[in-house]
Amino acid sequence: MTVEKQFLLDSLKLAESWRLFKILGEFVDGVEALHDLGPAVSIFGSARIKPEHPVYKKTETIAELFAKNNFAVITGGGGGVMEAANKGAAKAGGRSVGLNILLPMEQKPNSYSNLKLEFKYFFVRKVMFVKYASAYVIMPGGLGTLDELFEAATLVQTKRIKPFPIILVGSDYWQGLKTWIQSQLLKNETISKEDFEILQVMDDPEEIVHTVKRIVIL
């Protein structure tokens, strides 16, 4: 997949200020499409996870449970964990949202989202993830997943958004990170105890859904 200009932020020069209207257009399209979505969870994780992988199957189960409990499921619209989440939500007859991003590699829209949006700008897409989410569910993933995780945690920490659950799924994958945050950041007082408690590590799909339902009034 090609992108008009790969380094979009670098191209925002005064002579190309008309691009700001494209950015505004992406915001308008996103708000118009999602304003009546209702309670939703944004699910993140690696695009490289294959359908036979246990994480894929677990993601599908979690998304299906959320859809059965009247939550829409929002993903990045691509493959791997995103595909699994959209598949689970669609299987349960729920709203299955894919916010696809145009990338020079890796990202191809999956066929399971029943509401698709396409973005050029990462920062517009990020706003849509957080604005319409009642919780973030973080499956095993790489740099992009970590980016979404810590951005949301920072927004909660700084009270830029209303606090919501940020759940790391898979203690075998995420507990080392949580332990490092405790032993380094918390120990050295670069974060507070309240900051540390923003992130929750869970394994059981039913517990994950119950935790979100307990906080969100449907």
Coil, strand, or helix at residue 76?
A: coil
**pLDDT, mean of residues 14-26:** 81
Report the chain's C-alpha Rg in angstroms: 17
Number of domains in the chain: 1
156-205: pLDDT as tens digits: 999 999 999 999 999 999 999 999 999 999 999 999 999 999 999 999 99
116-157: pLDDT as tens digits: 999 999 999 999 999 999 999 999 999 999 999 999 999 999
User: 125 or 2: whose pLDDT is higher?
Assistant: 125
Sign of CA dihedral 61, 62, 64, 69: positive
68-79: pLDDT as tens digits: 999 999 999 999
Q: Look at strands 135-138 and 199-202 and give their pairing.
A: unpaired
Q: What are 138's strand-pairing partners?
A: 44, 168
196 within some domain: yes
**87 has pLDDT over 70:** yes
How far apart are the C-alpha atoms of 97 and 109, rounded to whole Å?
A: 11
The one-letter code for the residue type at 81 is V
CATH number for 111: 3.40.50.450
Task: Give the model's pLDDT for residue 1.
Answer: 44
Q: What is the mean pLDDT of the chain?
A: 92
61 within some domain: yes
10 within some domain: no
Measured between alpha carbons, how far is residue 24 from residues 13, 19, 97, 117, 123 in Å?
16, 9, 21, 15, 12
Candidate from 6-20, 47-61, 98-112 with smallest mean pLDDT: 6-20
5 within some domain: no
Task: Quote the domain boundaries for residue 164.
Answer: 18-215
65 within some domain: yes
**102 has pLDDT over 60:** yes
Candidate from 22-31, 102-111, 128-137 with smallest mean pLDDT: 102-111
The one-letter code for the residue type at 215 is I
7 within some domain: no
211 within some domain: yes
Task: Give the model's pLDDT for residue 61.
Answer: 98
Task: Give the model's pLDDT for residue 19.
Answer: 80
68: which residues sit within 8 A by CB, 6+ positions away?
92, 94
**pLDDT, mean of residues 85-93:** 98
